[in-house]
A and B are shown apart, each in its own frame.
Chain A
Amino acid sequence: MIISQQKPFEEILTILGEKKRVFLIGCSLCATLCQSGGEEQVIEMKERLIGEGKEVSGHVVIEAVCHILNSKKELAAHKAALKETDAVLVMACGAGVQTVTELKKIPVMAALDTLFLGNVKRFGQFEERCSLCGECILNKTGGICPVTTCSKGLLNGPCGGMHDGKCEIDPERDCAWVKIYDRLEELGQLETFEEIFALKDYSKGIKPKALILERGKKVL
Chain B
Amino acid sequence: MNFQQSLTQNQFTITTEIGPPKGTDTSEMLAQASKIKDRVHAMNVTDNQSSIMRLGSLAACHLLKEQGIDPIYQLTCRDRNRLALQSDLLSASALGLRNVLALTGDHPQVGDHPQAKPVFDVDSTQLLQIIGRLNEGRDLSTQFMNKPLTEGTALKGKTDLFPGAVVCPEANPIKPQLLRFSKKVVAGAKFFQTQAIYDFEKFENFMKYARDLGAKILAGILLLRSAGMARYLNKNVPGIMVPDHLIKEMESSAHPLETGIKIAARQISQLKGICNGVHIMAIGLEDKVLDILDEAGI
A contact residues vs B (CB 8 Å cutoff): 151-165, 168-169, 177-178, 181, 185, 190, 193-194, 196-202
| Given contact pairs A160-B238, A196-B187, A154 touches B123 in the complex (Cβ within 8 A) | yes
Interchain Cβ contacts within 8 Å, total number: 107
Contacts of A194 in B (CB 8 A): 179, 182-183
CA A156 – CA B126 in complex, angstroms?
8
CA A197 – CA B123 in complex, angstroms?
10
Which single member of B109, B122, B124 contacts A199 (CB below 8 Å)? B122
Contacts of B146 in A (CB 8 A): 198
Which single member of A154, A168, A198, A201 contacts B110 (CB below 8 Å)? A168
* Shortest Cβ distance from A201 into B: residue: B144
13 contacts between A and B (CB under 8 A): A154-B120, A156-B183, A159-B124, A161-B239, A165-B172, A168-B106, A169-B110, A181-B175, A190-B179, A194-B179, A196-B183, A198-B144, A198-B145
Contacts of A161 in B (CB 8 A): 106-107, 110, 238-239
Q: Let me know if B269 is at the binding interface, CB within 8 A.
A: no
Distance in Å: Cβ of B121 to nearest Cβ of chain A:
7
Distance in Å: Cβ of B51 to nearest Cβ of chain A:
10
Asked if B166 and A199 make an inter-chain contact with CB atoms under 8 angstroms apart, the answer reads: no
Q: Let me know if B137 is at the binding interface, CB within 8 A.
A: no
Q: Let me know if B140 is at the binding interface, CB within 8 A.
A: yes
Q: Let me know if B104 is at the binding interface, CB within 8 A.
A: yes
Asked if A158 and B180 make an inter-chain contact with CB atoms under 8 angstroms apart, the answer reads: yes
Q: How many interface residues does B have (CB within 8 Å)?
A: 39
| Given contact pairs A152-B120, A164-B172, A199-B144, A159 touches B104 in the complex (Cβ within 8 A) | yes
Asked if B179 and A157 make an inter-chain contact with CB atoms under 8 angstroms apart, the answer reads: yes
* Shortest Cβ distance from B107 into A: residue: A169
Contacts of B167 in A (CB 8 A): 160
Asked if A160 and B172 make an inter-chain contact with CB atoms under 8 angstroms apart, the answer reads: no
Distance in Å: Cβ of A80 to nearest Cβ of chain B:
45
Asked if B172 and A163 make an inter-chain contact with CB atoms under 8 angstroms apart, the answer reads: yes
Asked if B177 and A199 make an inter-chain contact with CB atoms under 8 angstroms apart, the answer reads: no
Asked if A160 and B171 make an inter-chain contact with CB atoms under 8 angstroms apart, the answer reads: yes
CA A187 – CA B27 in complex, angstroms?
56
CA A156 – CA B145 in complex, angstroms?
14
Q: What per-residue 1/0 map shows which CB atoms of B138-151 lie under 8 Å from chain A?
A: 00100011100000
Asked if B239 and A163 make an inter-chain contact with CB atoms under 8 angstroms apart, the answer reads: yes
Interface centre among A161, A185, A201, by most chain B C-beta atoms within 10 angstroms, is: A161
CA A177 – CA B179 in complex, angstroms?
11
Which single member of A190, A196, A200 contacts B186 (CB below 8 Å)? A196
Distance in Å: Cβ of A131 to nearest Cβ of chain B:
13
Asked if A199 and B195 make an inter-chain contact with CB atoms under 8 angstroms apart, the answer reads: no
CA A110 – CA B239 in complex, angstroms?
41
Contacts of B123 in A (CB 8 A): 152, 154-156, 159
Distance in Å: Cβ of B209 to nearest Cβ of chain A:
14
CA A157 – CA B129 in complex, angstroms?
15
Which single member of A156, A185, A200 contacts B180 (CB below 8 Å)? A156
Contacts of B125 in A (CB 8 A): 156-157, 196-197
**Sorted from nearest, which 9 A-B pairs have the closest CB atoms?**
A161-B238, A157-B180, A168-B238, A181-B176, A156-B125, A169-B109, A160-B239, A198-B146, A152-B120
* Shortest Cβ distance from A157 into B: residue: B180
CA A161 – CA B124 in complex, angstroms?
13
Distance in Å: Cβ of A206 to nearest Cβ of chain B:
13
Asked if A163 and B241 make an inter-chain contact with CB atoms under 8 angstroms apart, the answer reads: yes
Q: Let me know if B168 is at the binding interface, CB within 8 A.
A: yes
Q: Let me know if B118 is at the binding interface, CB within 8 A.
A: yes
Contacts of B179 in A (CB 8 A): 157, 181, 190, 193-194
Contacts of B180 in A (CB 8 A): 156-158, 177
